[in-house]
C-alpha cells in the first residue's frame, strides 16, 4: 500500500511540485479543454477525464512516479485518482479544492470561474 495521501491541499501541491520535488512530479489537469482555456496552472498536462481510458498509455512513464491530479473543485480529480490507483498508479493524489483552491491559496493570477 502506498503512503501517498489520497488528497492534498493546494499549498502542499505547490510545495511538492516546485519546492520539494521540482520536475519530479506530474500535475495532471483532468478538466475539459474549454475549462483549461479559461484557467490553467503552468506546467500542467491536460488529459480530460472522459479521454483517460483511451489515453492512459500517455501516463505509463509515470506509473511509479508521483502524480497530482486537479480539476475545478476536486470532485473529478478524486475520481481520476481512485481510477488511476485501481490501475496500479500508486503515487497519485488529488488536489482538494481544485484549481479554484489553487487560485485562492497559491496564485491569484489564475482566473476563478
**In this predicted model, what pLDDT tens digit does every residue of 86-103 receive, in sequence order?**
999 989 999 999 999 999
pLDDT exceeds 60 at position 1: no
pLDDT tens for 60-72 read 999 999 999 999 9
**Alpha carbons 14 and 57: distance in angstroms, whole number:** 26
pLDDT at 105 over 90: yes
**Cβ–Cβ under 8 Å, residues 90 and 2:** yes
Name the CATH code of domain 7-105 (choices 3.40.250.10, 3.30.920.30, 3.30.70.1560, 3.40.50.720): 3.40.250.10
Cα–Cα distance measured from residue 35 to residue 13, given in angstroms and rounded to the nearest whole number: 20
Domain map (residue ranges) of the chain: 7-105
Sort strands 67-70 and 26-29 into parallel, antiparallel or unpaired: parallel
Amino acid at each position: 500500500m502506498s503512503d501517498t495521501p489520497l488528497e492534498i491541499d493546494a499549498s502542499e501541491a505547490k510545495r511538492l511540485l516546485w519546492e520539494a520535488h521540482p520536475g519530479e512530479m506530474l500535475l495532471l489537469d483532468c478538466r475539459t479543454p474549454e475549462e483549461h482555456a479559461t484557467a490553467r496552472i503552468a506546467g500542467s498536462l491536460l488529459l480530460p477525464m472522459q479521454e483517460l481510458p483511451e489515453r492512459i498509455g500517455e501516463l505509463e512513464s509515470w506509473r511509479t512516479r508521483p502524480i497530482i491530479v486537479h480539476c475545478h473543485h476536486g470532485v473529478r480529480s478524486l475520481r481520476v485518482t481512485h481510477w488511476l490507483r485501481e490501475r496500479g498508479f500508486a503515487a497519485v493524489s488529488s488536489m482538494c479544492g481544485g484549481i479554484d483552491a489553487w487560485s485562492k491559496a497559491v496564485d491569484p493570477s489564475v482566473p476563478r470561474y
